Structure 1
Amino acid sequence: MKQITKYQNQKVLVLGLAKSGFSAAKLLHDLGALVTVNDGKPFEENPMAQDLLSLGVKVITGSHPIELLDEDFSLMVKNPGIPYDQPLVKKALEKGIPVITEVELAYEIAECPIIGITGTNGKTTTTTMIAEILNRGMKEGQARLSGNIGFPASSVAQEAQPEDKLVMELSSFQLMGIQTFHPKVAVITNLFSAHLDYHGSREEYVKAKWHIQQNMTSEDTLILNWKQAELRSLAEQTKAQVLPFSSEEKVAGAYLLDGNLCFKEEVLMPASELGVPGVHNIENALAAICVAKTQGIANEAIVAALTSFTGVPHRTQFVAKINERLFYNDSKATNILATEMALGGFDPSKLILLAGGLDRGNSFDDLIPSLEGVKAVILFGETKEKLADAAQKAGITEIHFTENAETAVPVAYEISQPGDAILLSPANASWDQYKNFEIRGDRYMAAVRALS
C-alpha cells in the first residue's frame, strides 16, 4: 500500500465500528493518526473495541456523547449506515470537520486501479461476475473483491499489489462520503427508488449514486445501463468516456441481440448459456462484459466465466437438483422489485414460488403482473395473507400457507413435478422470523439438502 503521511498526528474520530469502522481505525492508527473510536455497543459486548484498545486506540463505547467534538478533530470517518442527521455527524459538519467513509481511505492507499460498481439492484452479482471474469483472463495480478460486498475496502487495499485490480461494490451510503475517490472504471447497473428514508428523496439518492464518477476524467470509463432514460440523460454530465449496455437494443457497447450476448459487432455467447437465469442477470452479464473489454480480457475467458457462474449466495442462487426439480435461493429479494426481476427468469407454468416476511404496511398489487401464470405459491410470515390476495388476483389457484422458509420446502417438493423450479424469493424483509436474509436463505438451503 502507499505509505501516506497526511494523517500523522492528526486527530481522527471513527464513528461506528462493524467491519469497515474497525478496518478504518486500525489503518489510521498504523498511519500515525491519533484515533478515537466511538461505538454504541457496550465495551464488554464489543470485541472490536477491545482489540482496538489493546493497540492503544482511544475507545468510547455505549453512547455517542456530543462533547466528544469539543476535541480538535481534523476528520470524521463515519460508518456508512449512520445517517447524516445523527447528532455527532450533524455537529461535525457544522464545525467544518470533513466526514468521509472508509472507501475514501482505501483509494488513498491503493497501489492498483479501482473498478467501482454501484446501482440499485445487481451490484453484488455484477461485482462477483467481474472478478471471476478478470481472474480467468488477467495475465498477471488478481481481481480482489472489496467494499459493500463484505470485504472492507481499506483492508483489501492494504494487501493489493500494483498489478491487481480492486473490484469494489459501492453503496449510496459509502459514495456520499467520498472526496478524491477515483475509479478507473465505474458501473451503474440501474437506478430505482430505494433508501428514501435515509436520503430523503429519489433526487438525493440518485445524486449519491452519481458521486461514483465525480472525479473521473476522459481517460476513465463509465459503464451505464442504456435501457434507462435517466442514465442516458446523466451520461451527458460526465467527463468520463461512456460505454453503454442494453438488453433491449443494439448499442455501442454490450447488448442482447437475437438471444446472444454481444459486444460491439462481436457475438460472444447465447444468453441461454449463462449460469444464472433472468433478464436482470443478462444485464449484469452485459455490464461485466463491458468491464472485461476495458481490461483486454479475451472472449474465451469471458465466456468460460459466465457459463460457469452459478450466482452469488442468496441472489437467485442455484441450490440443488433433486429428482428433476431445480431449487433456487433468492433470499436477498427483500422487496417487490427484486422478486419481480427474479420471476422474469423462469417459465411461470413450471414455477413454485416461496414468499413472505415482514409486514411494512405495503400491498403487493405491483407484483400481480409478475405472478400471472405461476403454477403455485407457498406463503409464510406476516405478509402471507396479503400475498395470497395478490396471488388470487393474478389467477393462481394453488396457494399454500406454511410456517417459514424451511417448512415451505417439503410442501413445495410434494406439490411439484419433474421439470419444475422451486424459488425462494420472499419480496419481504426477513426480520419477522429471521435476524437477516442470509440466515433465512441458509435455513432454506439446509431444508433443500435435507430432502436428498
Structure 2
Amino acid sequence: MKTLNNFPYHSALVLGLAKSGSAAAKALLQNGIYVRVNDMKANKEDEVVQELIKMGAEAVVGSHPLEVLNGMDLLVKNPGIPYDNPIVKEAMKRNIPIITEIELAYRLTESPIVGITGSNGKTTTTTLISDILNEDGQGVKVAGNIGIVATEIAQNLQENETLVLELSSFQLQGIIDFRPKIAVLLNIFEAHLDYHKTLENYIMSKCNIFSNQKETDYLVYNADDPILEREVKNAKAILVPFSVSKKVENGAYVEGNTVYFKGEKIMDRDKIVLVGEHNLENVLAAIAAAKLQGVDNSSIQQVLTTFTGVKHRLQFVTNMNGRQFYNDSKATNVLATQKALSSFEKPVILLAGGLDRGNEFNELEPYLNHVKAMVLFGETKEKLKALGQKLEIPSINIVENVEEAVEKAYQVSDEGDVILLSPACASWDQYRTFEERGDMFVQAVHRLM
C-alpha cells in the first residue's frame, strides 16, 4: 500500500462522509494524519462513523459548527459541497488549503495517470480508453467521477498499472499539485453555474486538469471547441488536438471514411459501432490517448468495432416491433440532448423533463425538426411543452414519470421510429440519480416486451 510522501499537513478536517470522504479519512489516518470528520446527516452510530472512530478519527456529526476547523491545517471537501458552504468559506478566510480526494489519490501513487474531463462525454471516453488499454494488455484501473473512489484504487496500484480517472469540475477545483501524464479535455459549455457561479469559474476548474502539467506531459484537446482553443495556449504540456471537422497534423482526425492519428491510418470510420458525431469526438480523444500510451492499432480496432456505449449514455436497449429504444438518461443538460438528437435521422419520440434549474430550452429548437412526438415529465414539463407547441410538434404528451412515458411513447410511435429518453435535465426532482431514472426506463421497456 502506497503512503503519503512529503505530505506537509498534520491535521485534516474531512467534510462530508460519502464514499469519497470516508475513503479520504481512512487514507489520512493510515498515514498518521490527525483526522476530524464532519457530516450533517450522519450520526455516531453509523457503521462508517464507528469504523473511523476506531481508526482514531474524531467525529463531529449532526451539525456543522465552525469550530470543527479549529486546529486543522487542511480541509478535504466532498466534491459536491459548494464553496459558499459556511465551513468552506471560513476555511478560505483562515487560509486553510481546500482539496478534494483526487489530490490525495495523486499523492498516493507513482503510476501514470490519464485524466479525462469535459462537459459531456467523460464516461464514454474514460471507458473507451480503459477498454483499449486492457485490450492491449496494459494494466489499468479506472476511478474518479465514474463512481469508484480514486483514493482507494491509487493506494493499491501495481507498478505497471495506469490509473484512468474521470474528473468532474467539482473534483478539479480542489487540487494543488494533481498532475496527469495525459490530460484529455473533451469540450466546455455552460454548465453547473449553480455551483461555480460564473462560466469563467467553471472554465478555470476544467482547465485545472492541465494547470500543473510539464513539458513532458500531453494534453489531448478538442480543436473544434473555441473555448479550448483559447485556453490551451496557457498549457505547458505537448498539445495533441483532435477534430471531426479538419485535419490536425499532431493529433487524431477524420478524412473521408478514414480515422487517422498523426497521419497514420487507424481504421475505417464506418466500422465504428457508436452512433453520433459527439461519440466520434469521444472516439478520437480515446484514440489519441491510447496511441500516446503506445497501443497497437489492432487493439483500438477491436474495441471500436464492438463497443456499443456506456449504460445511460445513448445506450441501445432493444428493437421492438420496428421501434428502437435508447436510454440517454445521463443527458442532464441541453447540450447532451442536442447531441443525442443529432445522432438520428429517423423520426424520434423524445422523452424529456426533470429538475428545473431555471434555464430555458430554446437551444433545442434546431434539433427538434425530426421529433414527431414529445412525452414530458418532471418539473420542466410545462416549459418543454411550450417549446413543442411553438414548433408545432404534432403530438405532445404530459405524464407523471418515466415509466408512464415509455407506455405513452409506444402508443404514439410507428414502425421505424426511435424512442429516445434524453431528458435535458437532472433527475433529482423525481429520482435519486440519473442511473435510477435510466433503470426505470429500461425496466419499463422490458415490461412492454
Category of TM-score, reference length = shorter chain: over 0.9
Deviates more, 1:233-242 or 1:42-51: 42-51
Two-structure CA RMSD over aligned residues (Å): 1.9
Match of 1:426 among 403, 423, 442: 423
Pair 1:277 & 2:272 matched: no
Match of 2:327 among 326, 329, 343: 329
Pair 1:288 & 2:286 matched: yes
- TM-score in terms of structure 1 length: 0.94
3-state SS, counterpart of residue 317 of structure 2: strand
Measured after TM superposition, the shift of residue 278 of structure 1 is: 1.1
Pair 1:10 & 2:10 matched: yes
Match of 2:173 among 165, 176, 184: 176
d(CA) in 2 for partners of 1:31, 1:13: 15
Measured after TM superposition, the shift of residue 306 of structure 1 is: 1.6
Contact 2:140–2:164 (CA under 8 A) maintained in structure 1: yes
Cα displacement string for residues 204-251 of structure 1 (whole angstroms, at most 9, x for unaligned residues): 111111111122111110001000122122222111000000111111
Contact 1:12–1:75 (CA under 8 A) maintained in structure 2: yes
d(CA) in 2 for partners of 1:10, 1:432: 41
Counterpart in the other structure of 2:313: 315
Cα displacement string for residues 69-97 of structure 1 (whole angstroms, at most 9, x for unaligned residues): 222x2222111122223222222222232
Measured after TM superposition, the shift of residue 189 of structure 1 is: 0.4
d(CA) in 2 for partners of 1:290, 1:45: 49
Measured after TM superposition, the shift of residue 342 of structure 1 is: 0.7
Counterpart in the other structure of 1:378: 375
3-state SS, counterpart of residue 308 of structure 1: coil
Contact 1:8–1:32 (CA under 8 A) maintained in structure 2: no
d(CA) in 2 for partners of 1:351, 1:406: 18
Structure-2 change in CA distance of 1:261 and 1:16 (3 Å): same
Match of 1:267 among 265, 271, 286: 265
d(CA) in 2 for partners of 1:324, 1:133: 33
Counterpart in the other structure of 1:359: 356
Structure-2 change in CA distance of 1:47 and 1:392 (3 Å): same
Counterpart in the other structure of 1:92: 91
Structure 1 segments of 4+ aligned residues over 6 angstroms from their partners: none
Contact 1:326–1:421 (CA under 8 A) maintained in structure 2: yes
In structure 2, what residue type is equivalent to 1:397?
Answer: P
d(CA) in 2 for partners of 1:5, 1:220: 22
Counterpart in the other structure of 1:231: 228
Counterpart in the other structure of 2:26: 26
3-state SS, counterpart of residue 445 of structure 1: helix
Pair 1:59 & 2:56 matched: no
3-state SS, counterpart of residue 124 of structure 2: helix
Contact 2:36–2:68 (CA under 8 A) maintained in structure 1: no
Contact 2:9–2:74 (CA under 8 A) maintained in structure 1: no
d(CA) in 2 for partners of 1:263, 1:27: 40
Measured after TM superposition, the shift of residue 64 of structure 1 is: 1.3
Counterpart in the other structure of 2:337: 339
Measured after TM superposition, the shift of residue 285 of structure 1 is: 0.6
The 5 A counterparts of 1:156-167 are 156-167=153-164
d(CA) in 2 for partners of 1:276, 1:449: 23
Contact 1:276–1:316 (CA under 8 A) maintained in structure 2: no
Count of residue correspondences:
448
Cα displacement string for residues 17-41 of structure 1 (whole angstroms, at most 9, x for unaligned residues): 1111110000111111111111111
Measured after TM superposition, the shift of residue 9 of structure 1 is: 8.8
Measured after TM superposition, the shift of residue 45 of structure 1 is: 7.2
d(CA) in 2 for partners of 1:5, 1:366: 49
Pair 1:442 & 2:439 matched: yes
d(CA) in 1 for partners of 2:186, 2:276: 15
Counterpart in the other structure of 1:186: 183
Unaligned runs of 5+ in 1: none
In structure 2, what residue type is equivalent to 1:120?
Answer: S
d(CA) in 1 for partners of 2:149, 2:107: 14
Unaligned runs of 5+ in 2: none
d(CA) in 2 for partners of 1:393, 1:307: 41
Structure-2 change in CA distance of 1:338 and 1:30 (3 Å): same
Deviates more, 1:193-202 or 1:212-221: 193-202
d(CA) in 1 for partners of 2:359, 2:107: 43
Measured after TM superposition, the shift of residue 59 of structure 1 is: 0.9
d(CA) in 2 for partners of 1:36, 1:6: 21
Measured after TM superposition, the shift of residue 6 of structure 1 is: 4.2
In structure 2, what residue type is equivalent to 1:264?
Answer: K
d(CA) in 2 for partners of 1:403, 1:242: 48
In structure 2, what residue type is equivalent to 1:265?
Answer: G
Counterpart in the other structure of 2:122: 123
Counterpart in the other structure of 1:391: 388
Structure-2 change in CA distance of 1:45 and 1:244 (3 Å): farther
Counterpart in the other structure of 1:83: 82
In structure 2, what residue type is equivalent to 1:221?
Answer: Y
Contact 1:245–1:251 (CA under 8 A) maintained in structure 2: yes
d(CA) in 2 for partners of 1:361, 1:75: 35
Measured after TM superposition, the shift of residue 4 of structure 1 is: 3.2
Deviates more, 1:87-96 or 1:313-322: 87-96
d(CA) in 2 for partners of 1:395, 1:268: 44
Structure-2 change in CA distance of 1:372 and 1:395 (3 Å): farther
Structure-2 change in CA distance of 1:7 and 1:295 (3 Å): closer
Contact 1:368–1:393 (CA under 8 A) maintained in structure 2: no
d(CA) in 2 for partners of 1:45, 1:187: 42
Counterpart in the other structure of 1:451: 448
Contact 2:184–2:220 (CA under 8 A) maintained in structure 1: yes
Measured after TM superposition, the shift of residue 130 of structure 1 is: 0.8
Measured after TM superposition, the shift of residue 443 of structure 1 is: 0.5
Counterpart in the other structure of 2:239: 242
Match of 2:216 among 187, 194, 219: 219
Report percent identity of matched pairs. Answer: 52
